[in-house]
Amino acid sequence: MAEFGKDITAEDIIETLSFFDSWEERYKYIIDLGRELPPLADAHRTESNLVRGCQSQVWLVHELADERLQFAADSDAHIVRGLLGVVLAAYNDKTPAEIRQFDIDAYFDELNLLKHLSPTRGNGLRAMVGRIRATAEAA
């Protein structure tokens, strides 16, 4: 399995998505990204790890190791697992300061992502980002 934030970075995703001409191809790539997420242990699939505001079920856990935040996440929807990969590529294995400084809106704009998601998926994506940023603020 690839490690998001190390093996697959935000820059990698921007570069790879730029190769595809259609959004159908981009969606397939995003779904494939979701297949690269390591499985989340059942013990982490708890109410307290659910991300509120997502249409699908999304679980997000973290730990602070060597002053870097390590995230693990999963969802019951394939496209959302892929979107988690897009988000983790930007935020995983970063320091809290790097997470706070990263311009996620510019990243999403460069991917042209929010324009191609339903409003509920876009809200869910913002909820994931909000949970990660709140974690960075608290760390």
pLDDT tens string 26-61: 999 999 999 999 989 999 999 999 999 888 999 999
SS3 79: helix
> Using one digit for the tens of pLDDT, what is the confidence trace for 70-88?
999 999 999 999 999 999 9
Q: Which residues are marked as active site?
A: 54
pTM of the model as a whole: 0.95
The CATH fold assigned to 10-138 is Sufe protein. Chain: A (3.90.1010)
Share of residues in the chain with pLDDT > 70 (%)? 99
> Using one digit for the tens of pLDDT, what is the confidence trace for 79-119?
999 999 999 999 999 999 999 999 999 999 999 998 999 99
The answer to whether residue 1 scores a pLDDT higher than 80 is no
Sequence spans of domains, the chain: 10-138
Distances (CA, A) of 125 to 43, 55, 57, 93, 115: 23, 10, 12, 19, 12
